[in-house]
Amino acid sequence: MKLQLNSFGQFAILTLFSILVACGNPVKMLEKGQYDPAIYTSVKRLAGKKKKKARYVKTLEEAFEKATKKDMKEIEVLKREGREENWVEINRIVERIKKRQRAIEPLLPLIDQHGYKASFKFVRIEDLEIEAKAKAADYYYNEGKRLLALAERGDKSAARDAYEMFQKLTYYYDRYKDEDELMQKALDLGTVYVLFDVKNHSNVLMPREFDRELRRVDLSDLQQKWRQVHSKPLQGIEYDYTVTLYITQIDVSPETVKEREYIDDKTIEEGWEYVLDENGNVRKDSAGNDIKIPKKVLIKARVFETYQHKAAVVSGTLEFTDNRLGDLIKSDLVTVEVNFENYAATFKGDERALSEESKKKLGNKPLPFPTDEMLILDAADKLKPIIKSKIRRARLDW
What distance in Å separates the CA atoms of residue 85 and residue 275, rounded to the nearest whole number?
A: 107
CB 190 within 8 A of CB 152: no
Q: How many CB atoms lie within 10 A of CB 219?
A: 19
Domain ranges for the chain: 14-123, 133-190, 193-398
C-alpha 250/C-alpha 315 separation (Å) is 7
Task: For residue 282, give every residue at least 6 positions away whose Cβ sits within 8 Å of its Cβ, in sequence order, or none.
Answer: 274, 275, 276, 290, 291
The reported pLDDT for the residue numbered 10 is 47
- The residue count of the chain comes to 398
pLDDT score at 69: 97
Q: What is the DSSP letter of 362?
A: B
Contacts of 358 (CB under 8 A, 6+ apart): 264, 301, 303, 345, 347
Q: Which of 128, 151, 150, 132 is nearest to 140 (CA)?
A: 132
CB-CB contact of 389 with 313 (8 Å) = no
Pick the closest to residue 273 from 298, 294, 297 (CA basis). Answer: 294
CATH topology for the 193-398 domain = Double Stranded RNA Binding Domain (3.30.160)
pLDDT tens, per residue, the chain with 398 residues: 444 444 444 444 444 433 444 457 999 999 999 999 999 999 999 999 999 999 999 999 999 999 999 999 999 999 999 999 999 999 999 999 999 999 999 999 999 999 999 999 999 999 999 999 999 999 999 999 999 999 999 899 999 999 999 999 999 999 999 999 999 999 999 999 999 999 999 888 888 888 888 888 888 888 888 999 999 999 989 999 999 999 999 999 999 999 999 999 988 888 888 888 888 788 888 888 888 888 888 999 999 999 999 999 999 999 999 998 899 999 999 999 999 999 999 999 999 999 998 998 898 889 999 999 999 999 999 999 999 999 888 876 66
pTM: 0.68
pLDDT at 3: 45
Cα 188 to its chain centre, rounded Å, is 24
Q: How far apart are CA 91 and CA 288, in angstroms?
A: 111
Instruction: Tell me the C-alpha to C-alpha distance, in Å, between residue 89 and each of 77, 165, 296.
Output: 11, 15, 96
Give the start-end residues of each E strand in the chain.
192-200, 227-230, 241-252, 256-274, 292-322, 327-349
Separation CA 387–CA 213 (nearest Å):
13
Measured in whole angstroms, the distance separating CA 160 from the mean position of its chain's CA atoms is: 21
Q: Is 258 helix (H, G, I), strand (E, B) or coil?
A: strand
